[in-house]
Amino acid sequence: MRKGQNPAKFVKEVACPERITAALLNYIPFLSGFYTETLDVLKVCLESMRKDAGLPFDLMVFDNGSCPEVRDYLIREKEEGRIQYLILCEKNMGKGGAWNVMLAGAPGEIIAYTDSDVLFSPGWLSRSVEILETFPNVGMVTARPFRTPPEFFETTLSWARANAKLEEGQFIPWERFLEFNLSLGQTEEENKKVYAETSDWKIIYKGVTAMAGASHWQFTAYKSTLQQFLPFDMDKPMGQVRQLDKRMNDAGLLRLMVSDPLAMNMSNTLGYLRGELGKERGKKKEGLARRVLELGPIKKMLLAVYNKIFNWYYS
């Protein structure tokens, strides 16, 4: 039997969410090996998101089954008001499973998604939203220009040829191009050929400049647009996320990037911030042990062993 009245009945107002939800996906299963510095990377990512984003936003974090140390950190951030929505998943649902929850459940009209290893620069959000709101029929906007597979922005080029000013050229300076690709584990030598044989596409529409292309690792989009592609059916934790890139292009939506590098991939270390990225460039010799480890058969065998051990513990 009820006694008295629920005090909530007398509340006259409730808090309204911000128009924009910044949604971050995190997965740190342990703090050793590949993941030794990833908690520090996450902290830097979150701090850079909040610093001079250019527009207000609520922060949603989806943790995909991380270790206790990481969950404790996120809970503290939530309790201290730096995270507005925190979802702690018991097990790793994979990126597709997490997207199904995040992109459907984020309360904002606009969702600014990011992986947990991105370093943001001031103005990243306002510049992304400016493009999103200026160009018509936009699927997604990424806060950094880089060269993406052209088959994923064919629709964007077709639209630009008919409706905007379109220019082709080497608009991304070599150092900026190399900086990003080195962060992905690529080498300078393999990128020289790619840079020479590819180009960038600049689009100017209503006085706003964007670059053709975008990517699933960081993007800003209307929630209503993203919901057209839900649910994602991905049977692996990673490697299938380009489904979103392809499906947006096939649906006739524009995929765009800001013209300045306002987001950078840190990967699994803080080496970029320490100035370590590419510092080996120019060295003519490597140590014998390193050269042996890079031999194809040995590298393949050791990575297979590492993967097997990882699966024993975390699959």
Q: Could you report the per-residue pLDDT of 101-123, keeping only the tens digit for each?
A: 999 999 999 999 999 999 999 99
**How sure is the predictor about 146, in pLDDT bands with cuts at 50, 70 and 90?**
very high
> Rounded CA gap, 228 and 243, in Å?
13
Whether residue 220 has pLDDT greater than 90: yes
Task: Return all residues near 39 (Cβ < 8 A) that are at least 6 apart.
Answer: 28, 31, 69, 70, 73
Note the pLDDT of residue 314: 59
- For 58, the token pair is 């609520």
What is the pTM (predicted TM-score) of this model? 0.87
Higher pLDDT, 168 or 183: 168
Note the pLDDT of residue 313: 66
Note the pLDDT of residue 72: 98
Whether residue 175 has pLDDT greater than 60: yes
**DSSP H/E element including 70:** helix 68-79
Whether residue 308 has pLDDT greater than 90: no
Note the pLDDT of residue 303: 66
Whether residue 285 has pLDDT greater than 50: no
Over pLDDT 70: what percentage of the chain?
85
**How sure is the predictor about 233, in pLDDT bands with cuts at 50, 70 and 90?**
confident
**DSSP H/E element including 287:** none
Contact in structure between 27 and 65 (CB atoms under 8 Å) = yes
Whether residue 228 has pLDDT greater than 90: yes
Q: Which neighbouring-strand residues pair with 110?
A: 20, 222
Q: Would the CA dihedral through 17, 257, 136, 217 be positive or negative?
A: negative
Whether residue 131 has pLDDT greater than 50: yes
Higher pLDDT, 5 or 256: 256
Inter-axis angle of helices 174-182 and 188-197, nearest 10? 130
Whether residue 290 has pLDDT greater than 90: no
Residue in this structure with the two tokens 């379109």, named with its chain if needed: 166
Whether residue 239 has pLDDT greater than 60: no
> Rounded CA gap, 310 and 63, in Å?
19
- For 312, the token pair is 């024993």
Note the pLDDT of residue 126: 98
DSSP three-state, residue 75 = helix
- For 181, the token pair is 């690709």
**How sure is the predictor about 57, in pLDDT bands with cuts at 50, 70 and 90?**
very high
Q: Which neighbouring-strand residues pair with 165?
A: 204
**How sure is the predictor about 232, in pLDDT bands with cuts at 50, 70 and 90?**
confident
DSSP three-state, residue 206 = coil
As to burial, measured by CB atoms within 10 angstroms (0-12 exposed, 13-18 middle, 19+ buried), residue 126 is middle
Note the pLDDT of residue 44: 97
Residues 42-61: b if buried by 16+ CB within 10 A, e if exposed: bebbbebbeeebebebbbbb
Note the pLDDT of residue 282: 45
As to burial, measured by CB atoms within 10 angstroms (0-12 exposed, 13-18 middle, 19+ buried), residue 301 is exposed
> Rounded CA gap, 168 and 234, in Å?
35
**How sure is the predictor about 22, in pLDDT bands with cuts at 50, 70 and 90?**
very high
Whether residue 66 has pLDDT greater than 80: yes
Whether residue 136 has pLDDT greater than 50: yes
Work out the mean pLDDT of the chain and round it to a whole number: 89
